[in-house]
Amino acid sequence: MALKIIKWSDDYKTGIRIIDNDHRQLFELTEALGVCAERGEGRKRMGEIIDRLVNYANEHFVREEQFMATCGFPDYEAHVAEHRRATEEIYGIRHLFRADADGLDAMKVAQFFAHWLAEHIRHRDQRYVPYVRGDDDAMADGPPVSIRTPAEASATRLLETVSVEVPGDRAELVRVAARILAAGGAPAEKLGEILDKLASRSPSEKRLEAIAARYRRHH
């Protein structure tokens, strides 16, 4: 299969250096995934790229949302919702890879994400750029609004409040697990891997499977 994946170019520049660097890195990761699939470089390499893509996309979305919150971008909530849909998609992809690495069509993943990224930058990201720059004449979504502080925006993106009833002797265990996941880092990654293996016991399994079906290899 010929490698046909959208690549980074100056056409996607926003003029915000850190955002452009993030976008460039994400394009490079999708291209690396496509090359890995084309050359048959193996599960380990593919898994590393998928994990990096998931983690870096999450980090980028947080940074971008902080910019939007700080400048009062009026379409903030809709933009964040699109980020969350993309995040769910790539988590579904990683779920499929971990459950059935040989069943994942990595080229399809690379093509999907590169296309999504290109369209998202052109039609979504470029809209908040005038707000970051303070260019009132170019603010097509209306005047800036008060949203929340960057720290609050980041917390909204990274954390979700979950209420669940558990036996009293297990409550502290749940609180410890929540603190580990919220803190991030290697312990959170390890705990996440364990919880992923138990995901079949959760209603989210069906949602992940529906996403995974879109990227399953057809023989």
CB 96 within 8 A of CB 47: no
Sign of CA dihedral 24, 19, 117, 196: positive
Q: pLDDT band at residue 53, thresholds of 50, 70 and 90?
A: very high
The sign of the CA dihedral 24, 25, 26, 28 is: positive
For the cut 70, the answer to whether the pLDDT of residue 88 exceeds it is yes
pTM of the model: 0.73
User: Is residue 213 helix, strand or coil?
Assistant: helix
pLDDT at 10 over 90: yes
| Higher-scoring residue by pLDDT: 152, 72 | 72
Helices 150-158 and 43-71: crossing angle in degrees, nearest 10, is: 140
Lowest mean per-residue pLDDT among 36-40, 72-76, 80-84, 214-218: 214-218
Residue 72's pLDDT band, with cuts at 50, 70 and 90, is very high
Q: How confident is the model at residue 147 (pLDDT cuts 50, 70, 90)?
A: confident
* Domain boundaries 12-151+204-213, corresponding CATH code: 1.20.120.50
With cut-offs at 50, 70 and 90, classify the pLDDT of residue 163. Answer: low
pLDDT at 206 over 90: no
Q: How many other C-beta atoms can be found within 10 angstroms of the C-beta atom of residue 144?
A: 15
Structure tokens at 7: 């690549």
Q: Delimit the domains of the chain by residue range.
A: 12-151+204-213
Tell me what pLDDT residue 219 has. Answer: 58
Return the amino acid letter for 10.
D
Mean pLDDT of 147-160: 52
Residue 150: pLDDT over 50:
no
Q: Could you tell me which residues come within 8 angstroms of residue 51 by beta carbon, excluding any fewer than 6 positions away?
A: 94
